Structure 1
Amino acid sequence: MDSINILIGIGLIHCTLFFFDTFFKSCSHYPYLYFLENTGLEIQVLRVKWYTTACNRMIMKWAMDRSRFWLAWFNAGVIITVLLLPIASFIILKMTFSLWIGQSPKDSGIQTLEPMLPGVNLPLNEIGYYAATLALCSIVHEFGHALAAAREDVQVFGMGLLVAFVIPVACAHLNSEQLGALPIYNQLRILCAGVWHNIVLATLAAATLILTTWLWAPLFTVGQGVTVKTILPNSPLLGPTGLLERDTIYKINDCHVNDGDDWYHCILTAVRQPTPGYCITQKLIQDHDESVPAWHMANGAVSCCGDDSEEGGSLCFEYIEGPPAAPLQLPPHSCLPARLVILNTQRFCQYSHHCAPHEMHCMQPSLDNVTKVVQIKRREGKDVLFIGHPGEIYRTVDVSDWVPKYSFLSSDVPEALALLCKYVTVFSAGLAIVNVVPCFYFDGQYIVGALFLLRSKIRHKSLRQALALCVTCIGTLLLGVNLLYIFVNKII
């Protein structure tokens, strides 16, 4: 199903839920109200909120079981988060300075913070990874706050999950009065716990991604070719001698394919470079030549094959002459079976002298500038010959770096895990950096406020609070300007 249709379907589901919710509430439908109260559901416009106290006992138990460990754990979180705060602020300042002088942050080589939007800078077909990653990162973030609060004897009212259209966001409800009454160091453990857990999650996801190849080594190989995942029904590579799903491709013409990047590079090379010539023996040419009087076609190619020969898979090959002094030993054009020529070639060539032995000749298919002959080598089965624009191969064939060692395995599982790890690494690290920026409604606002309340040379508490508010206002303005600039540029 098309991704746009999926989004439209999700919107219709939200509208339907909101309609029935409004209808039953207006009728004072008591079973429905009882259902909402007991499940913790709340339905709003394009939003569904769920709240539960079921995790409270588990959170309390975990917090009390190993109190010393959690104390050291959250103390480490405070140190790492406080060290991250100036780094995040420096990134925002550098981005703002680049915008001030009229230079794009990316052009200046600066690390940028960029909102990830499905359909804008993320493919819509990966919206499931997007939603799952956001849910995981926010749950881990809020669970960190709740666990730290329970460790400091702050009441945890419950945990919630809000789905705004397709974006899931977790939330933890704490007793703010008890939190504010704690000593500053204890407050910092709770305030920094969310960012700290996001940092740990990003580190674990990155480590998993790095070790993915080693973890799957008993079942899959990586770097020794690509496996065909899907072939579109309109692909010109389908057919009795064409590609099949689960084929392992290791070469395109004379270009080696080790992974997906090589796959793209080899196809791009086939597009940009002319069709290569083939070194074949003079005997093969004499035994299989079926040429008829040649004529030039409108597209610039030369045809020297009859209708029956073309239907049988023959092409008109042009003899690539050697040095001017060398005698011409063959006619300029020969009609030869394409598969026979390519399978019996000794090497690729662009000039006659590339075919070293005297009995070898360089023969090149006579085609227009767009049409190319592409030889696709696979581990099992005959080589696939494609005649057409190589871009059709890339457009209609989807490949994976993961080559199964056993026929019952699918490359979808390790590929999905690797992609999820990439999303979690980027999103969790990004959320940690953004959350620590001193900005209203972010963790950075409360962290900066708590840091300014620590002992310092400024004795007046009201002055320290005013300075914290000033820093938060500046951070909010800088972050807002950067996000607005990036959003407008992505949309326009």
Structure 2
Amino acid sequence: MIPISVVVVVLGGWSVLYLADTILKSFNSLKNSYENWLALHGLSIAPFHLRWQTSFFNRVFYKFTERSFKEIFQKFSVGMVFGVIAMFGSMILLAKTLMQTLAQMMEEAPSVQSDHVLQVVSSSSRIFTSRSILLSLKHTQVVVPGINLPVSQLAYFFLAILISGVIHEIGHGVAAIREQVRFNGFGMFIFVVYPGAFVDLLTTHLQLISPVQQLRIFCAG
């Protein structure tokens, strides 16, 4: 389980940040200069949410897209097909995870209740007809920080999420530029303790392009 000290530090840190933000905005003498400073640095603060956005890397995105135009088109087309196929695979994985959870619940329940639940599952599903098949799914586990992931590994876990998120969003940004969608900027955020990245695209341009072009952008990450 997550130590109480970690919870206190996280909640305390966000409380101090949000309180400071509220106080600075409440003073008329500081409000305008403070909000201008936030806008200048692309920062926005909300409860348990800190966001940063910049247009500093826009030229890099555009130059990279221009130099690798043909290669990007081929890769994104392949990625679009793979994304559609992977969507069905993810549905199978989610179903497998659900069955694993049910199997674990039956393991922890009393034997009488376990047999009863097993009969209900077996009668409602023609695929899984025995408890041994259900229990064979327990090899797949969903990683839950603080539950089955040690607290000492959280820094590496969130760092990996941030790096993969940045690479993921770069793909969306490059694909959007390739499809002539206006690219406004790139940014990162932290929600409670979860880090992530995003790209800011002009929604109007996204709505004007064809569904295939939209799919290339959405699957590019």
TM-score, scaled to structure 1: 0.36
Deviations, residues 67-110 of structure 1 (Å, cap 9, x unaligned) = 10111111121122122122222223344466472869972326
Superposition deviation, residue 185 in structure 1: 2.3
Superposition deviation, residue 113 in structure 1: 6.1
Deviations, residues 8-31 of structure 1 (Å, cap 9, x unaligned) = 323322211111100010113132
Contact kept in structure 2, 1:149 and 1:156, CA below 8 Å? yes
> What's the secondary structure of 1:153's corresponding residue?
coil
Map residues 431-450 of structure 1 onto 2, 5 A cutoff. none
Superposition deviation, residue 61 in structure 1: 1.2
The answer as to 2:152 corresponding to 1:125 is yes
> What's the secondary structure of 1:186's corresponding residue?
helix
Deviations, residues 345-388 of structure 1 (Å, cap 9, x unaligned) = xxxxxxxxxxxxxxxxxxxxxxxxxxxxxxxxxxxxxxxxxxxx
Q: How many residues align?
A: 192
The answer as to 2:129 corresponding to 1:109 is no
**How far, CA to CA, are the matches of 1:135 and 1:171 in structure 2?**
11
The answer as to 2:103 corresponding to 1:75 is no
**How far, CA to CA, are the matches of 2:59 and 2:171 in structure 1?**
15
> What's the secondary structure of 1:109's corresponding residue?
helix
Alignment root-mean-square deviation, CA: 2.5
- Provide the residue aligned with 2:171 in structure 1: 144
- Provide the residue aligned with 1:175 in structure 2: 202
Change (3 A) 1:126 1:79: same
Deviations, residues 134-188 of structure 1 (Å, cap 9, x unaligned) = 1112111111111100111101121221211211021212122212222232222
The answer as to 2:20 corresponding to 1:20 is yes
> What's the secondary structure of 1:120's corresponding residue?
coil
Change (3 A) 1:105 1:57: farther
Superposition deviation, residue 126 in structure 1: 1.2
Map residues 345-364 of structure 1 onto 2, 5 A cutoff. none
Deviations, residues 439-469 of structure 1 (Å, cap 9, x unaligned) = xxxxxxxxxxxxxxxxxxxxxxxxxxxxxxx
The answer as to 2:46 corresponding to 1:44 is yes
- Provide the residue aligned with 1:159 in structure 2: 186
Map residues 298-313 of structure 1 onto 2, 5 A cutoff. none
| One-letter identity of the residue aligned with 1:70 | I
**How far, CA to CA, are the matches of 1:162 and 1:120 in structure 2?**
24
| One-letter identity of the residue aligned with 1:166 | V
Q: Kindly, what percent of the aligned residue pairs are identical?
A: 28
- Provide the residue aligned with 1:486 in structure 2: none
TM-score, scaled to structure 2: 0.77
Contact kept in structure 1, 2:55 and 2:185, CA below 8 Å? yes
Deviations, residues 103-129 of structure 1 (Å, cap 9, x unaligned) = 699723266462x32211110111111
Structure richer in helix, relative to its length: 2
- Provide the residue aligned with 2:220 in structure 1: 193
**How far, CA to CA, are the matches of 1:133 and 1:3 in structure 2?**
22
Superposition deviation, residue 44 in structure 1: 1.5
> What's the secondary structure of 2:220's corresponding residue?
helix
Superposition deviation, residue 33 in structure 1: 1.6
Change (3 A) 1:96 1:123: closer
> What's the secondary structure of 2:144's corresponding residue?
coil
**How far, CA to CA, are the matches of 1:92 and 1:131 in structure 2?**
22
Contact kept in structure 2, 1:91 and 1:111, CA below 8 Å? no
| One-letter identity of the residue aligned with 2:23 | F
Deviations, residues 261-280 of structure 1 (Å, cap 9, x unaligned) = xxxxxxxxxxxxxxxxxxxx
Contact kept in structure 2, 1:91 and 1:112, CA below 8 Å? no
Map residues 216-295 of structure 1 onto 2, 5 A cutoff. none
**How far, CA to CA, are the matches of 2:94 and 2:14 in structure 1?**
36
Structure richer in strand, relative to its length: 1
Change (3 A) 1:104 1:163: farther
Change (3 A) 1:38 1:191: same
| One-letter identity of the residue aligned with 1:63 | T
What stretches of structure 1 move > 6 A for 4+ residues in a row?
102-106
Q: Which ranges of structure 1 fall in alignment gaps of 5 or more residues? A: 195-492
**How far, CA to CA, are the matches of 1:47 and 1:16 in structure 2?**
13
> What's the secondary structure of 1:101's corresponding residue?
helix
**How far, CA to CA, are the matches of 1:3 and 1:153 in structure 2?**
48
Contact kept in structure 1, 2:145 and 2:154, CA below 8 Å? yes
| One-letter identity of the residue aligned with 2:10 | I
Superposition deviation, residue 62 in structure 1: 0.9
| One-letter identity of the residue aligned with 1:138 | G
| One-letter identity of the residue aligned with 2:55 | T
